[in-house]
Structure 1
Amino acid sequence: MEKDSILSVEKVSTETELEKVFAIRRKVFVDEQNCPPELEWEYEDESVHFLATVDGQPAGAARWRRTDKGFKLERFAVLKEFRGYGVGQALVKKILTDLPSGAAYIYLHAQLHAVGFYAGLGFVAEGPLFEEAGIQHYKMKFNQAGL
């Protein structure tokens, strides 16, 4: 990624954009992390999806959805060639601004290697380590006082 590259994160509004989101998730979760495909594709219709691009090229994806517990941020995926350039951070920040006002409980399931990343964005681990899709995770709650 070049120094003057343009990073953009937008809410998905077309089927073409959604296909790009799914392609990113397939590459990161199914191909790289060996997640079972049947676990990857769920709750798609009730989720609000986001696509990150760098100079117009698909670079990352994520979504949020309302659950019985609150608002869950999930499926954060950044293509290998765009990691370390702020794409994930831009996705988290954009999604947090898109949540309904009054969203009281905001949480996510962070892969063990990403706990520090999310902690740096205001999330706090709560509860025990658990396994999801064969990968170790912690539930992390957004500390709104940290905003």
Structure 2
Amino acid sequence: MEIIQVTNKDQRQDAYDVRTKVFVSEQQVPLNEEIDQYEEEAIHFVMYNNGLPVGAGRLRFIEDFGKIERICLLKEARGTGAGQALMKKIQETAYSNGYNKLKLNAQCQAEGFYKKLGYVTVSNEPFLDAGIPHVTMEKNL
């Protein structure tokens, strides 16, 4: 597995392709909600396995924290440690840019995954994002 910070249109399209397969096709999120107004300001990441894109995510800097968004893996990459590796790369990027605090909105079904990585749930109750229950989580590096 190779995780790269996106530097060109082809790599960004690879990230979008993974996101579309996971969020739009699998989870029925409308495409106009998945690809949003923050794409240009975000740092995008794509994970490759044998040259094929299998994971993606993005990072934005908001005030004093890094916001991790759109973390996803194709089915064949889940349960392999790929998600942990992707999160590590994104966290390292935030830290190297001077950000020690991270936030994310996790789908409730993924809350346990993020807890294992040291994230703490800070929202009082789940909320809907694109029709899917989420919680807000934070981590200090």
Q: Conserved in 2, the CA contact under 8 Å of 1:78 and 1:88?
A: yes
Q: Conserved in 1, the CA contact under 8 Å of 2:101 and 2:140?
A: no
2:22 aligns to what?
28
- What secondary structure is seen at the aligned counterpart in 1 of 2:84? helix
Q: Conserved in 2, the CA contact under 8 Å of 1:52 and 1:60?
A: yes
**For the structure 1 residues 52 and 68, does the alpha-carbon distance in structure 2 shift closer, same or farther, using more than 3 Å as the test?**
same
TM-score scaled to structure 1, two decimals?
0.89
User: Residue 12 of structure 1: which of 6, 12, 26 is its match?
Assistant: 6
For 1:130 and 1:124, how far apart are their aligned partners in 2? 16
- What secondary structure is seen at the aligned counterpart in 2 of 1:26? helix
Which stretches of structure 1, 4 residues or more, deviate above 3 A after TM superposition?
none
Task: For residues 83-106 of structure 1, give each alpha carbon's deviation from its aligned partner in whole angstroms, at most 9, with x where no partner exists.
Answer: 111111111000001114431431
User: Superposition pairs for residues 1-147 of structure 1, below 5 Å?
Assistant: 7-42=1-36, 43-68=38-63, 70-99=65-94, 100-128=96-124, 129-144=126-141
Alpha-carbon deviation of 1:68?
4.1
Alpha-carbon deviation of 1:134?
0.3
Unaligned runs of 5+ in 2: none
RMSD of the TM alignment (CA)? 1.2
Count of residue pairs brought into register by the alignment: 138
TM-score scaled to structure 2, two decimals?
0.92
For 1:112 and 1:59, how far apart are their aligned partners in 2? 22
- What secondary structure is seen at the aligned counterpart in 2 of 1:64? strand
Q: Conserved in 2, the CA contact under 8 Å of 1:124 and 1:143?
A: no
Alpha-carbon deviation of 1:140?
0.3
- Among all aligned residue pairs of Structure 1 and Structure 2, give the percentage whose two residues are the same amino acid: 40
